[in-house]
Amino acid sequence: MDTTSRVAIAMHATLPLLNALAFPPISRGSLEALQVNLTYRCNQRCLHCHVNAGPTRTEAMTDESLSLLHEVIDAHPVHTLDLTGGAPEMHPRFREIVIHARREGLRVIDRCNLTILSEPGYEDLAEFLADQGVEITASLPCYSRENVDKQRGDGVFEASIAGLRKLNRLGYGAEGSDRILNLVYNPQGPSLPPPQNQLEADYKSHLGQDFDIRFNHLLTITNQPIARFGSTLISKGQFGDYMQLLRDSYRPANLGALMCRSLISVDWQGYLYDCDFNQMLDLPMAMPKLIGRDRPHLRNLLQTTSLNGNAIVTRDHCYACTAGQGSSCGGSLSD
C-alpha cells in the first residue's frame, strides 16, 4: 500500500473524531501567485517531505506544460512565481523559467534546500539566482547539526551552512540588500511550531554567533499530516492524536489569510490545485465551468478571466494551516 493510501485510510478513521464541526467553507479572492511544482526529483529525502521527493523520482514538468505556464504568466496579472519541488533547480529548464518570469516583472521565489548549491553541476547556481534577483526561501529545520541531520540526513547541516555562506557572500540577507533570504522551520515531530518572532530571534542569534550567518526572516510551517510525514505518524500510532491537536488548535481568525485564497498550485503535469497539500492528496481545484471528468489544467486558466468566489476544496488536513499562529508557505498567519 502506498503512502497516500495509508494516509487516506487513517484520515477516514478519524472522521468521527474530527468532523463534529467540519472545516468551514472558504472561497477564492484575486489570483496573485502561482506555486509550481517543477519536479519530484531531489538530492535529499527528508522525513517531513509532503511530496515524497528524492533522488530516484523522475517526474518533471514537460515542455508542453512549461509553454502553457509562460502563456499564463503573460496573460494573468499574477505577481509571484513560487518554484518548488523536489529540488526545483534540478529541472533542466529551471533557469529558462526564472529568466522568463523575471523579464515579465514577476517576483520569483526559489524553494531551495541549500545543499543543492554544492552539488556537482550546480556550482554557479547561487550566482545565477543572485543575478536574477530571485528571492530564496531555504529549508533549515533547526540551528543545530544534530537535529537537522536527524530529520534530513547525515551531512545536511554542514552542506546547508556552506550554502548559506555562499549566499551571504553574494549579498543575500545583508541589511539594505534586495537579495532576500528567508529560512523555513518545521517541527521535528507531531507538534505545533513555537511563536515565529521568538524563534527567528533565536535563529539569528545562534547562526550569527556560531557561523556568522545572516538572513532576513524565519518562516514557521506546521507539518502536514500527509504523504511521508503522515505515514510516519501512522506507523508510530500518532496520527489520530496529531489530527486532534490540529483540530483543537483551530483559530477562525486565520481563515482570511490562508494562502489558498490567492494562490494556485500547479503540478508537474500542469494540473491545478488550491494548494500544494491538496496536490499531494490528488484533490483538484474546483472550476465550476468544467464539465464531465475534466481536471483543471493550465490551459483552462488561459480561458478564465477571474476565479473570484470559487469554492476552495477543503479536508481535515486544512486544520494544519489554521492551528495556533496559522501556517502557510509564507510562514505564520498571526502573532
**b/e burial code for range 172-209 (CB count within 10 A of at least 16 → b):** bbbeeeebbbbbbbbbeebebbeebeebbeebbeebee
User: CA-CA distance, 129 to 179, in Å (whole number)?
Assistant: 9
Q: Using the predicted structure, report yes or no on whether residue 37 has a pLDDT greater than 80.
A: yes
The three three-digit cell numbers of residue 2, written as one number: 502506498
Report the pLDDT value the prediction gives residue 21, as an integer from 0 to 100: 53
The three three-digit cell numbers of residue 287, written as one number: 472550476
How far from the centroid of its chain's Cα atoms is residue 2's Cα?
Answer: 22
Domain count across the chain: 1
Count of H helices and E strands in the chain?
13, 8
Would residue 105 count as lying in a domain?
Answer: yes
Would residue 57 count as lying in a domain?
Answer: yes
Q: How many CB atoms lie within 10 A of CB 237?
A: 8
Would residue 335 count as lying in a domain?
Answer: no
E strands, 231-320, in order: 263-266, 272-273
- Mean pLDDT of the residues in the chain: 87
Nearest alpha-carbon partner for 41 in 25, 53, 50: 53
Return the minimum-mean-pLDDT range out of 4-8, 116-120, 194-198, 230-234. Answer: 4-8
290: confidence class by pLDDT, cuts 50, 70, 90 = low
Give the amino acid at 103. Answer: R
Q: Using the predicted structure, report yes or no on whether residue 4 has a pLDDT greater than 80.
A: no
Element (H, E) at 230: helix 227-235
Report the pLDDT value the prediction gives residue 192, as an integer from 0 to 100: 93
Q: Using the predicted structure, report yes or no on whether residue 51 has a pLDDT greater than 80.
A: no
Q: Using the predicted structure, report yes or no on whether residue 201 has a pLDDT greater than 70.
A: yes
Report the pLDDT value the prediction gives residue 139, as an integer from 0 to 100: 85
Which residues have CB under 8 Å from 70's CB, separation 6+? 100
- Residue, of 56 and 80, whose pLDDT is higher: 80
Would residue 229 count as lying in a domain?
Answer: yes
Which CATH number fits the domain that encloses residue 277? 3.20.20
Would residue 181 count as lying in a domain?
Answer: yes
Return left, alpha or beta for 285; rule: phi > 0 is left, psi -120 to 50 is alpha, else beta: beta
User: CA-CA distance, 234 to 143, in Å (whole number)?
Assistant: 28
Report the pLDDT value the prediction gives residue 260, as an integer from 0 to 100: 95
Report the pLDDT value the prediction gives residue 76, as an integer from 0 to 100: 84
Element (H, E) at 82: strand 80-84
User: Which structural domain, as residue segments, surrounds residue 251?
Assistant: 3-322
Would residue 331 count as lying in a domain?
Answer: no
Would residue 152 count as lying in a domain?
Answer: yes
pLDDT tens string 292-327: 557 899 998 888 878 889 999 999 999 999 999 988
Report the pLDDT value the prediction gives residue 187, as an integer from 0 to 100: 86
pLDDT tens string 112-166: 999 999 999 999 999 999 999 999 999 887 787 777 767 666 678 888 999 999 9
**DSSP state for residue 215 in the 8-state scheme:** -
Q: Using the predicted structure, report yes or no on whether residue 291 has a pLDDT greater than 80.
A: no
How far from the centroid of its chain's Cα atoms is residue 143's Cα?
Answer: 20
Report the pLDDT value the prediction gives residue 20, as an integer from 0 to 100: 44
Please give the share of the chain, as a percent, with pLDDT higher than 90: 62
Element (H, E) at 135: strand 135-139
Would residue 332 count as lying in a domain?
Answer: no
Contact status, residue 270 vs residue 297, Cβ threshold 8 Å: yes
pTM of the model: 0.88
Give the amino acid at 246. Answer: L
Mean pLDDT of 234-248: 94
Q: Using the predicted structure, report yes or no on whether residue 16 has a pLDDT greater than 70.
A: no
